[in-house]
Structure 1
Amino acid sequence: MRSLVKSSVIVVIGTVLCKILGLVRELYVASTFGSSNLADVVNVVLRLPNFFRRIFSEGALSSVFIPVFNAKSRENKKDALIFANQIFFYLLIFSGVFVILVEIFMPVIASLLAPGFIANSDQLCTTVRLCRVSIPYLFFVTLVGFLSSVLNSYGYFFAASINPSLMSIGVIAAMSFTDNVSVKAKFVPFGLVIAGILQLSFVMYNVRCVNIGVPKRVSLTENSDSTKKFLCKLLPAGMASGATQIQIIISQSIASFFPGAISILGYAERIYQFPLSLLGVICSSVLLPAMSKINVKYDSSKISHMQMRSIKLVSLISFPCAIGMAAISIPIVQCIYQHGNFSFESTKSVAITFSLFALGLPAFVLIKLFNNLFYVYQDTKTLFRVTCVSIVINTLANIILIQYMGYFGISLGSSLISWVQLIWLVHLSVKKKYLSIKRYIIIWCLEVFFISSVMGGMLHVSYLILTPYFNSASFFVRLILTFGLLFLGIITYLCGVLLFGKISIGKRSIVLL
């Protein structure tokens, strides 16, 4: 357990750095473009390659490759390296061909991603042109994701966790070359491609330093059966691990019919992705490799125990994050985005969207945690079915809710369906005997939810009292007040979990009870 905590801390440090830089990038984009039509174009350009990256690079590859690779390493390390190099070669070919196809069919893809742009031919043409420049980023980042999975399998987490920060640096640097707003938008995709080259160079350097033996020239026919089985599992795993991203893309498509909605959804997503990514990356980069090293045939009880501890850890952090962020969403959005061309009206729209997204934060993270069980048991077909049905239901919910709530219904629908998907996964994991849910874990989570709700209520009342100061104060005063509210929430929550006996603080560590 100590090694898991140490690895989690390393990953969290690297991920926090990436998310801070990501917020700086979003702040720069928001202050430059606001919530205009051009902002919608820039957000589509940034989201398209990242959508494929999160499905194929960070999602399916890490989720399917790591358990198979670790299982092979237990049996024969040489065969494991042959397998890894074969997968690297096939990914090299696949990503190259895929990028070419996307370049050719970009007008169709852009129309599907943002059908609302079709009515504005200039906006659609600009989107197609800039996306064609940015999509080669996918080629580089797919290889980066694979090599990062190899590093994680060997216990090297830090290099892979800080690597995504280069993307934010590349975009910020590219936009800084000019003061012209329209030219800044044109420079964004070039920044992405340059960042992709730097990311691949960085991760290749780290792989060479630890002398893993990947990539290396090998025979494609040797031990090819296991490689074929892996590739067959990759598509359903990509759908399962990228469910959130697929739902976001569909939501973006629906939101394109509302001017400025794509940008508002994107800005809100960036904030709630901060805690989601921190917890999600622990689930995929630390817990999954650790669980996959356990032989499920002989020690399934150990996997179940690790899953129970993980549920406690995730609940302990995600519930207060979700409720606390929703309670003070307006001051948070004000501090991050309300600069330059970003108005207070845009702040209120982003804050509402952000609050509705935050309602589903614990479910989003717990879904990642339960997905790990199915990956460890190499049951990707079940995840594929659950994902497909969830995406269909989520799309229908969004279409229904926007009739009553406008684009706010998109964020609410995503949160509600995430809880439905979580309950379904829990049911299937118990039914398939991958996990045994104990009564105490349900009570434990409900108590944490109660403590978080009390903390959230106190935070919201405190914000209402301080509202006149937020509306009239300067940026630095608002920043100090916001951090003061966050500090108050943290202290209140810690007192609550200590009072209810959820944690114990020792001399050197914090222990879950």
Structure 2
Amino acid sequence: MQLLRNFATVGAFTAASRVLGFARDILVAALLGAGPVADAFFVAFKLPNLFRRLFAEGAFNSAFVPLFARVRAEEGEDGAEKFASSVLSWLLICLLVLTTLAELFTPYFILVMAPGFSADSKVELTTLFTRICFPYLAAMSLVAFLSGILNTLDRFAAAAFAPVLLNIVMISALLVAAFMELDAESAGFALSWGVFAAGIAQVVLLAVAVKRLGVRLTLPRPRPSKRLKRLLVLGLPGVAAGGITQINIVVGTIIASFWPAAVSHLYYADRLYQLPLGIVGIALGVALLPDLSRRLRNGDVGGALWTQNRAFEFALMLTLPAAAALIVVPLEIVVTLFERGAFDREAAALTAAAVSAYGFGLPAFVLIKVFSPAYFAREDTATPMIFAAISMVVNIGGSLILARMLAPQGLPHVGIAAATSLAGWVNASLLFVGLLRRGDFKPDPLLWTRALGIFAASLALMIVAVLIARELNGWFFNADLVSAAAALGLLVTGSAIIFALVCEFSGAIGVRDLVRVFRRR
């Protein structure tokens, strides 16, 4: 199946990126810990990342891909190139203005993102880090634009590989900092410059990939047009609809800034659940949108429904076991990956509590990526925007209430993570019900059969994971890194075997189905 092959391509490179991202975060934890310097860098990095995911990924994935595909079908390659070039000209102007304003008014942006920082000296350090990192936004917006062109043309590898460069460059900066034995603040500066350099490297990579496909992009004089207006109309709602998870995470950062180290604990927890979310959710979302747009444009409604059903069950198969593990054995995972250097056992325990809370919301975050393309492919970004706004209200209210409730126990960040998960389920449920009511999604009998089998396999995994973790308790908590890593490997392997066996015998997706997909790549 073309969808699964595209998913496998994006997922494989995303997995490589996430593995390198873990290596990067292990180094960050060792060099920066979970203190004021780490808080300052995470907020500085989150600010351009937020704009990138909202205005670049959200807007372009939801609006640019369907429009570019339509222009290419109606006017051929020349018309598509003219449209893309016009978009590029306007994009560069907007990025120049936004970056200039951000550099001038950085302290004010920070007070919005982390108002709790105003009570201490972290604002100055965060301002310096942010001014170095923010041009990354411009670079990543161009990357999103170029990725949209490549994905529409069924070329997913280069765009999926681009994030790997980010981690390679940042790891290199951290290794240099460790080799030079820099203090935490100096290491933070080195890391910020690494972000800046990584953005340039990614743009160059995708620009070369687009050129090799024979797509000729120019910089014409920016002029308004009906198609650009349509892109704006679709793109603005797409900012909210496509980036709701990121909006909710930023809301959590704002609230967490009022408690010491809470921002850092949420960041490390976020990195853990972002691994399956990136590999499954983002990969499926990226591969699904062009596929649905193409089928609907050709009038293949039945094929579109079949694709959605298979994407749904594939998401469940890869997401539910990951969520189960994050819920029941978060401390074992956090201790193995992060506990070293400045990151101690207390920090690990506090981070693990947030990981478990995020785990409950992981399936919802992935399903949002599965359901949203069904709206976007029909050029409807307004409905997901409304649902996103509702879930945002739930997230803000829930974060404020739960953070205050758990603050006396020293766990305000866990309340924030739980509210984010709740908001994710609200958003996913609204999207699902909306599709059902419109007749744009109809679960078939095979989906229900496989979903029940996957759910049963996930329950079995939870039981086995807890038993294995209990038996290997000494390896995880009273031994060296090698023993802890070996224990985590055994836990993952044993749990995966049980999950696969139950899936096979219950009628859910079997091993043979997966092998067939990868053989056809």
TM range (shorter): over 0.9
Report the alpha carbon displacement of residue 92 of structure 1 after superposing the two structures with TM.
Answer: 0.8
Matched residues in 1 for 2:423 and 2:228: separation?
A: 35
Matched residues in 1 for 2:10 and 2:517: separation?
A: 19
**Partner residue of 1:205 out of 201, 205, 208:** 208
What letter corresponds to residue 428 of structure 1 in structure 2? Answer: G
What letter corresponds to residue 116 of structure 1 in structure 2? Answer: G
171-180 or 12-21, which deviates more: 171-180
> What's the TM-score, normalizing by structure 1?
0.95
Identity %: 29
Match runs of 1:227-242 below 5 Å: 227-242=228-243
3-state SS of 1:156 partner: coil
3-state SS of 1:315 partner: helix
Report the alpha carbon displacement of residue 187 of structure 1 after superposing the two structures with TM.
Answer: 2.1
Q: Determine if contact 2:295/2:304 at 8 Å carries over to the other structure.
A: yes
Q: 1:505–1:37: structure 2 CA closer, same or farther, 3 Å change rule? A: closer
Q: Deviations over 1:175-221 (max 9, x none)?
A: 324422221112222211111111111111111122122x2244655
Q: Does 1:33 align with 2:39?
A: no
Match runs of 1:413-432 below 5 Å: 413-432=419-438
Q: Determine if contact 2:63/2:234 at 8 Å carries over to the other structure.
A: yes
What letter corresponds to residue 447 of structure 2 in structure 1? Answer: I
Q: Determine if contact 1:504/1:510 at 8 Å carries over to the other structure.
A: no
Match runs of 1:352-363 below 5 Å: 352-363=353-364
Count of aligned positions: 508
Q: Determine if contact 2:129/2:189 at 8 Å carries over to the other structure.
A: yes
Report the alpha carbon displacement of residue 171 of structure 1 after superposing the two structures with TM.
Answer: 2.3
Provide the residue aligned with 1:154 in structure 2. 153
What letter corresponds to residue 206 of structure 1 in structure 2? Answer: A
Report the alpha carbon displacement of residue 466 of structure 1 after superposing the two structures with TM.
Answer: 1.9
158-167 or 466-475, which deviates more: 466-475
Report the alpha carbon displacement of residue 316 of structure 1 after superposing the two structures with TM.
Answer: 1.0
What letter corresponds to residue 28 of structure 2 in structure 1? Answer: V
What letter corresponds to residue 110 of structure 1 in structure 2? Answer: I
Matched residues in 2 for 1:245 and 1:339: separation?
A: 28
Matched residues in 2 for 1:139 and 1:464: separation?
A: 48
Q: Determine if contact 2:335/2:476 at 8 Å carries over to the other structure.
A: no
Q: Determine if contact 1:67/1:292 at 8 Å carries over to the other structure.
A: yes
**Partner residue of 1:457 out of 443, 446, 463:** 463
Match runs of 1:18-417 below 5 Å: 18-77=17-76, 78-120=78-120, 122-175=121-174, 176-177=176-177, 178-181=180-183, 182-213=185-216, 215-218=217-220, 220-221=222-223, 224-296=225-297, 298-405=299-406, 406-417=412-423
3-state SS of 2:154 partner: coil
3-state SS of 2:494 partner: helix
3-state SS of 1:494 partner: helix
Q: Determine if contact 1:283/1:372 at 8 Å carries over to the other structure.
A: no
Report the alpha carbon displacement of residue 460 of structure 1 after superposing the two structures with TM.
Answer: 0.8
Provide the residue aligned with 2:472 in structure 1. 466
Provide the residue aligned with 1:493 in structure 2. 499
> What's the TM-score, normalizing by structure 2?
0.94
463-472 or 95-104, which deviates more: 463-472
Q: Determine if contact 1:504/1:511 at 8 Å carries over to the other structure.
A: no
Provide the residue aligned with 2:409 in structure 1. none
Report the alpha carbon displacement of residue 314 of structure 1 after superposing the two structures with TM.
Answer: 0.5
Matched residues in 1 for 2:228 and 2:115: separation?
A: 38
Q: 1:185–1:508: structure 2 CA closer, same or farther, 3 Å change rule? A: closer
Matched residues in 2 for 1:195 and 1:422: separation?
A: 33
**Structure 1 residues without counterparts, runs of 5 or longer:** none
Q: Determine if contact 1:296/1:377 at 8 Å carries over to the other structure.
A: no
3-state SS of 1:359 partner: helix
Q: Deviations over 1:120-148 (max 9, x none)?
A: 0x211111122112111111111111001
Q: 1:507–1:377: structure 2 CA closer, same or farther, 3 Å change rule? A: closer
Q: Determine if contact 1:247/1:414 at 8 Å carries over to the other structure.
A: yes
Q: Determine if contact 2:62/2:381 at 8 Å carries over to the other structure.
A: no
- Runs (4+) of structure 1 exceeding 6 A deviation are none
3-state SS of 1:503 partner: coil
3-state SS of 1:293 partner: helix
3-state SS of 1:339 partner: coil
Q: Determine if contact 1:239/1:387 at 8 Å carries over to the other structure.
A: yes
What letter corresponds to residue 119 of structure 2 in structure 1? Answer: A
Q: Determine if contact 2:10/2:283 at 8 Å carries over to the other structure.
A: yes
Report the alpha carbon displacement of residue 368 of structure 1 after superposing the two structures with TM.
Answer: 0.9
**Structure 2 residues without counterparts, runs of 5 or longer:** 407-411
Provide the residue aligned with 1:475 in structure 2. 481
Q: Determine if contact 1:237/1:380 at 8 Å carries over to the other structure.
A: yes
Q: Does 1:503 align with 2:509?
A: yes
Q: 1:409–1:168: structure 2 CA closer, same or farther, 3 Å change rule? A: same
Matched residues in 1 for 2:237 and 2:514: separation?
A: 43
Q: Determine if contact 2:62/2:234 at 8 Å carries over to the other structure.
A: no
Matched residues in 1 for 2:303 and 2:427: separation?
A: 25
Q: Deviations over 1:415-439 (max 9, x none)?
A: 1221121111111112222222346
Q: Determine if contact 2:450/2:509 at 8 Å carries over to the other structure.
A: no
Q: Deviations over 1:231-260 (max 9, x none)?
A: 222111011111010110110000011101
Matched residues in 1 for 2:67 and 2:54: separation?
A: 18
Report the alpha carbon displacement of residue 328 of structure 1 after superposing the two structures with TM.
Answer: 2.0
Q: Determine if contact 1:390/1:421 at 8 Å carries over to the other structure.
A: yes
Report the alpha carbon displacement of residue 158 of structure 1 after superposing the two structures with TM.
Answer: 1.0
Matched residues in 1 for 2:478 and 2:19: separation?
A: 27
3-state SS of 2:472 partner: helix
What letter corresponds to residue 91 of structure 2 in structure 1? Answer: L
What letter corresponds to residue 8 of structure 2 in structure 1? Answer: V
Matched residues in 2 for 1:412 and 1:443: separation?
A: 30
Q: 1:471–1:217: structure 2 CA closer, same or farther, 3 Å change rule? A: closer
What letter corresponds to residue 200 of structure 1 in structure 2? Answer: V
Matched residues in 1 for 2:427 and 2:305: separation?
A: 20
Q: Determine if contact 2:265/2:350 at 8 Å carries over to the other structure.
A: yes
Report the alpha carbon displacement of residue 507 of structure 1 after superposing the two structures with TM.
Answer: 9.2
Matched residues in 1 for 2:156 and 2:300: separation?
A: 25
Q: Deviations over 1:102-132 (max 9, x none)?
A: 1222111101111111110x21111112211
Matched residues in 2 for 1:388 and 1:448: separation?
A: 31
What letter corresponds to residue 43 of structure 2 in structure 1? Answer: V
Matched residues in 1 for 2:356 and 2:228: separation?
A: 43
What letter corresponds to residue 212 of structure 1 in structure 2? Answer: V
What letter corresponds to residue 123 of structure 1 in structure 2? Answer: K
Q: Determine if contact 2:12/2:279 at 8 Å carries over to the other structure.
A: no
Report the alpha carbon displacement of residue 361 of structure 1 after superposing the two structures with TM.
Answer: 0.8
Matched residues in 2 for 1:498 and 1:444: separation?
A: 10
Matched residues in 2 for 1:440 and 1:7: separation?
A: 22
